Chain A
Amino acid sequence: DAGVIQSPRHEVTEMGQEVTLRCKPISGHDYLFWYRQTMMRGLELLIYFNNNVPIDDSGMPEDRFSAKMPNASFSTLKIQPSEPRDSAVYFCASSLREGQETQYFGPGTRLLVL
């Protein structure tokens, strides 16, 4: 298996623009997680899905952030409009069957909002 796949790997955009990050989890994994990493706040959970259904989005910073999982092999994290403080590395992770199982992380998307 190729592991968790994220795209793009790097994104540079201007303030106010829409940004869409993409994730393909490991085949057969039922849980998908989105994390954000910054120097100030470290790694923090934004939202996670179980069988394509959002379970906990309490970590989503504000309404500008939205996430979807239209099918078992694809998820998006959208920021609209983007702001400079959204600059961070965004990681997607997946796990098998239950959330407490080992999580496998993708390589991350480095987002820079100018």
Chain B
Amino acid sequence: GAVVSQHPSWVICKSGTSVKIECRSLDFQATTMFWYRQFPKQSLMLMATSNEGSKATYEQGVEKDKFLINHASLTLSTLTVTSAHPEDSSFYICSVVGGGYNEQFFGPGTRLTVL
């Protein structure tokens, strides 16, 4: 399967600042990536679908101006949490779509803590 990296693996920031999380597909070109958030002991919630060269598609209830997604190349998608607040603290996971059956391969996740 595909190898996916995320950077940083964890980040602590002050309330009101913006944080950028990178998702990289290391061994193949991904036209589609997904961004999820996960609260402690809960399932993954799909936030948005990131398509290379076009605007991201956000799930209902996800603020697109709050969570900016850029998919500028076939190997990199970024999620920027703007004006972060403590309620944005979560585990953010990306995935890339590939393989013969359009499978998803997941990154290791980024732990965001907003103080």
A binds B: no
Residues of A within 8 A of B (CB): none
